[in-house]
Amino acid sequence: MAEVAGRTVAELGEFGLIEEIRRLQPQGPGVLLGAGDDAAVVSAPDGRVVVSTDVLVEGVHFKGEWAAAQDIGRRAAAATIADIAAMGARATALVVSLAGPSGMSAQWALDLAGGLAEEAGVVGASVVGGDLSSGRQVMIAVTGIGDLAGSSPVTRSGARHGDVLAIAGRQGWAAAGLAILSRGFRSPRIIVEAYRRPEPPYASGPVAAAAGATAMCDISDGLIADAGHLAAASGVTVDIDPGLLPVPEELRAAASAFNVEPLSWVLAGGDDHALLATFPADAELPAGFTAIGRAEEAQQPEVLVAGQPWAADSGHEHFR
């Protein structure tokens, strides 16, 4: 094992760093051939694979002074694992690529790898390989592979008039944490930690699929923004009832301290990776889901809040 403390990635070298990262990645039973060859081999018992990918860029998706490398690794893995859960599947393997400057701390890179492995382990997935490259800033690309276990994928396009709109997982917490960090504060700790380490309801994805969800997506850009993607794909109007949205006392207290309307964090915040799904009106919502609105017929698909367009910020969109 190489001595890592105090060394940069340039000093450790590409292949030395790869070897150290490999030591941190336990391999599950579905991995037939892990990292070390030109490609990994993983089993696909279903005969189909669900694939998703996310890129995190330093200064855009994270700042090193706001979160430790381990936290950033967990956030990077969570974004992709939640996408797979939103299809009604379970993530089985991740492939990760990392680019960064040669002066980057080797320990930072290993802590990042450790965080990726920890979050993958939450769902029993393995990090099976990836790539390293030099770059002017840190960039992390995570590609996930998932298993449908014989079920049909739940897409964004299946919502129909009369369906109940429901949410699973906490929503607005990461946005509140980001707002607090952006103002130079580090507390309330429980909210800041929600930004640093999201807790997506991964298991709720397959549960929703089994319960007959007609459409589903994860909330990564904002509730209104992602509800808009679902509405557009399904050709419906989504009407959110703000009175049904869970707004915990912790968010209310933080919003009061910062003179912010807490509903804005819940409606426009992303990065909690809650799951948004629609279910037939006569279906019983599965455990973990809360009804927050309804899908309706639409001449022009849109998202409404209490029957009205939302005029404020609706979420994140790159290049805007």
In a domain, 317, yes or no: no
Q: What is the pTM of this model?
A: 0.93
What burial letters (b/e) apply to 231-251, b meaning 16+ CB within 10 Å? bbbbbbbbbbeeeebebbebb
Kindly state whether residues 169 and 201 are assigned to the same domain.
yes
In a domain, 229, yes or no: yes
In a domain, 293, yes or no: yes
- 92: burial class by Cβ within 10 Å (0-12, 13-18, 19+)? buried
In a domain, 25, yes or no: yes
Kindly state whether residues 91 and 143 are assigned to the same domain.
yes
Give a three-class secondary structure readout of 93-139: EEEEEEEECCCCEHHHHHHHHHHHHHHHHHCCCEEEEEEEEECCCCE
Q: Three-class SS of residue 219?
A: strand
Structural domain containing residue 193: 164-309
Instruction: Match 């040669």 to its residue by tokens.
Output: 102
From 115, 147, 179, give the residue that closes a domain: 147
- 10: burial class by Cβ within 10 Å (0-12, 13-18, 19+)? middle
Q: What is the CATH number of the domain that holds 123?
A: 3.30.1330.10
Query: Which backbone phi and psi does 214 adopt, to 5 degrees?
Result: -90, -25
pLDDT tens, N- to C-terminus, the chain (320 residues):
567 888 888 888 888 888 888 888 889 999 999 988 889 999 999 999 999 999 999 988 899 889 999 999 999 999 999 999 999 999 999 999 999 999 999 999 999 999 999 999 999 999 999 999 999 999 999 999 999 999 999 999 999 999 999 999 999 999 999 999 999 999 999 999 999 999 999 999 999 999 999 999 999 999 999 999 999 999 999 999 999 999 999 999 999 999 999 999 999 998 999 999 999 999 999 999 999 999 999 989 999 999 999 876 766 655 46
In a domain, 156, yes or no: no
In a domain, 155, yes or no: no
In a domain, 214, yes or no: yes
Kindly state whether residues 172 and 70 are assigned to the same domain.
no
From 147, 182, 206, give the residue that closes a domain: 147
Q: What is the CATH number of the domain that holds 181?
A: 3.90.650.10
Per the structure, the count of domains in the chain is: 2
In a domain, 315, yes or no: no
Kindly state whether residues 173 and 66 are assigned to the same domain.
no
Kindly state whether residues 74 and 131 are assigned to the same domain.
yes
